[in-house]
Amino acid sequence: MAPTKSINGQDLREMFAAATSWLEKSSADIDALNVFPVPDGDTGTNMLLTMRSTVEESQMADDHSASRVAKAMAKGALVGARGNSGVILSQIFSGLSQALDGKDAVTGKELADALAKASSVAYAGLSNPVEGTILTVIREAAEAAQAHAATVSDDVVSVIEATANAAKESVAKTPTLLPVLMEAGVVDAGGQGLYTILEGVLHYLKGEMEQLKLRRPWMVASSVPLTAKSPQMVGVEEVPYGYCTNFVIKGEELDPDKLRKRLEKRGQSVIVVGDNSAVRVHIHTLDPGDIMSYVVPLGTLHQINIRNMDEQYHDFIEMQKERMPAVAVAIVAVVVGEGLANVFTSLGATFVVPGGQTMNPSTKDLLQAVEAVTSEKVIILPNNKNIVLTASQVQSLTEKTIEVVPTTTIPQGVAALLAFDYEADMETNAQNMNKARAAVKSIEVTRAVRSTRLGGLDIKKHQAIGFLNGDLVAVGDSPAAVVQDVLGRVKLDTAEVITIYYGDDTTSAEAEEVGGTLGKQHPQIQVEVVQGGQPYYNYIVSVE
């Protein structure tokens, strides 16, 4: 293979486009690399959607200038960043852009130096960088790239090969640096995602198009024996946005059940109903063309309706904007579940961004909400630990004044809202809301998506598991029993109110029974039961 002395902007764009396609093949596997066995692992999905935004923006740049393409990619990554992994990925592209500024083409050594700059920018973007994560992987990969370019070869392909190999080794070592990964029996998901991207870049530069089309990315194994069972692959529960695709198939000997199973591998929110002569299909997908190509041979298509859910989100924003009150300080809250959205609106949230578990909104989504409100001062309540970093990126994209109150749970968000004073200034409100969020106890109950041993608990797949302030503390056969178990670990002597938000998978009768039992056990405490409508989590409980 002839040496590749340099690459231009078109090469840069196409190699990351290929890497994005490569990442898509393993996004569900990466989602499954979750420390906790909960149904909201979304690192792979977040990184994929961030990369899609990165590549889409690069299409707007001059193909012949590496500098312009890198700058466009950095912009696309920033506005499209979803979740912590997506934000860190956007910082990596920001560093690449800074290092490549003014360059029409890039040599292997310059690319290695750009990776080093990407690493330093990513570290600088976090107030408390943690080793054993994607940060470690980009740093060690960049160090290997620079060493290779300086002592072995500055051939671009050779440098990237050294980079990818070092990233793979770094991912394998993440459990030795982060004890929680060792205990959970997984490598770091963000690190795996970055390695997959670099692997995709390498395949493209080596001309291995057959590999990209026919094979799947390699999931890195830990370099040391892990204490927990390796995770089972869990499909992505829900992809934020994409295309809502609806159609009717008419034909002969159609099999709705078989079709449903096949489509579940190609999209989310799949609904297939009908008989052997006519079937109606609803599916959310990032590639409606793929769905159409699959179903066309089955019969004739009718009533085809494909709607870009990003446009639906824009329509949702416009609708909220029309109803929006004029306030000095607006509050933008991220909430999933109709009941919870109603709670936040009734407590004074100016704008509700749909999102949360498995539906992390992008920086662009939050920016659109901020720009939609009439106020020049905006407080953002992320209500999810994986959205706090995304929210922190908004200030750099707007002239409005932003305060992020880093709420990581729904109860924290509610407590923060209750502390808001319309007569106080923004700084005072942010301080009061921070104090309020820190005072509330948050309980979350869901079902395990895999068997594992974690935090001294033996957990079987489908068992109910309970979290107290983000820490896994209980396991049991029923969500109701786990709520009782976790509450037993909370000092309720000074508690005044317990609010139980029940989810989509929980009946009102069961939730009322849980609330009634608590009321009898603690007659001095006011117990409220509210339909939250949240997916995946049977119960979210607030103790104030």
DSSP assignment string, 281-325? EEEEES-HHHHHHHHGGGSEEEEEEEEEHHHHHHHHHHHHHHHPP
How confident is residue 233, by pLDDT bands cut at 50, 70 and 90? Answer: very low
**Selection from 440, 436, 511 nearest residue 470 by Cα:** 440
User: Residue 179 domain-assigned?
Assistant: yes
Q: Same structural domain for residues 190 and 65?
A: yes
How confident is residue 251, by pLDDT bands cut at 50, 70 and 90? Answer: confident
| Per-residue pLDDT at 121 | 92
Q: Same structural domain for residues 475 and 454?
A: yes
508 vs 318 pLDDT, higher one? 508
Determine the Cα–Cα distance for residues 313 and 152; give it in Å rounded to an integer.
50
Total domains, the chain: 4
Q: Same structural domain for residues 293 and 330?
A: no
Token digits for 9? 């902007």
What would the mean pLDDT of 235-253 be, rounded to a whole number? 67
Q: Same structural domain for residues 167 and 40?
A: yes
**Tokens 């792979």 belong to residue:** 44
Q: Same structural domain for residues 433 and 449?
A: no
User: Residue 277 domain-assigned?
Assistant: yes
Is 90 exceeded by the pLDDT of residue 224?
no
User: Residue 204 domain-assigned?
Assistant: yes
Q: Same structural domain for residues 56 and 183?
A: yes
Last residue of a domain, one of 439, 455, 476: 439
Is 80 exceeded by the pLDDT of residue 235?
no
Among 90-99, 322-331, 480-489, 491-500, the range scoring the smallest mean pLDDT is 322-331
| pLDDT tens readout for residues 416-468 | 999 998 888 999 999 999 999 999 999 999 998 888 888 889 999 899 999 99
Q: Same structural domain for residues 342 and 290?
A: no
What would the mean pLDDT of 218-236 be, rounded to a whole number? 53
How far the first Cα of the chain sits from its last, in Å, is 66
| Per-residue pLDDT at 101 | 95
Domain of 491, CATH number, reads 3.30.1180
Q: Same structural domain for residues 119 and 15?
A: yes
Q: Same structural domain for residues 102 and 203?
A: yes
Is 90 exceeded by the pLDDT of residue 129?
no
What would the mean pLDDT of 406-419 be, rounded to a whole number? 94
| pLDDT tens readout for residues 331-380 | 999 998 888 988 998 888 989 998 876 678 899 999 999 998 889 999 99
| pLDDT tens readout for residues 319-334 | 555 555 557 899 999 9
Q: Same structural domain for residues 132 and 149?
A: yes
**Selection from 358, 311, 390 nearest residue 537 by Cα:** 358
Token digits for 123? 């570290």
| Per-residue pLDDT at 39 | 64
| Per-residue pLDDT at 316 | 54
- Phi-psi label, residue 5: left if phi above 0, alpha if psi -120 to 50, beta otherwise: alpha
CA 172 from centre of chain: 22
User: Residue 137 domain-assigned?
Assistant: yes
Q: Same structural domain for residues 350 and 422?
A: yes
Q: Same structural domain for residues 342 and 286?
A: no
Among 144-148, 229-233, 277-281, the range scoring the smallest mean pLDDT is 229-233
Q: 3-state SS string over 120-173?
A: HHHHHCCCCCCCCCHHHHHHHHHHHHHHHHHHCCCCHHHHHHHHHHHHHHHHHH
Domain of 334, CATH number, reads 3.40.50.510
Determine the Cα–Cα distance for residues 105 and 111; give it in Å rounded to an integer.
10
Length of the chain (residues): 544
Q: For residues 527 and 541, is the Cβ–Cβ distance under 8 A?
A: no
User: CB-side exposure of 421: number of CA atoms within 13 Å?
Assistant: 12
Domain of 301, CATH number, reads 3.30.70
Strands 526-531, 497-502: pairing is parallel
User: Residue 423 domain-assigned?
Assistant: yes
User: Residue 260 domain-assigned?
Assistant: yes
User: Residue 455 domain-assigned?
Assistant: yes
Q: Which domain holds residue 345?
A: 324-439
| Per-residue pLDDT at 14 | 95
Last residue of a domain, one of 420, 439, 458: 439
Give how far Cα 408 sits from Cα of 140, 219, 485, 495, 543, Å.
30, 30, 22, 21, 15
Give how far Cα 172 sits from Cα of 150, 218, 222, 282, 293, Å.
25, 12, 4, 40, 38
Is 50 exceeded by the pLDDT of residue 232?
no
Query: What is the rounded average pLDDT for all residues in the chain?
Result: 87
User: Residue 314 domain-assigned?
Assistant: no
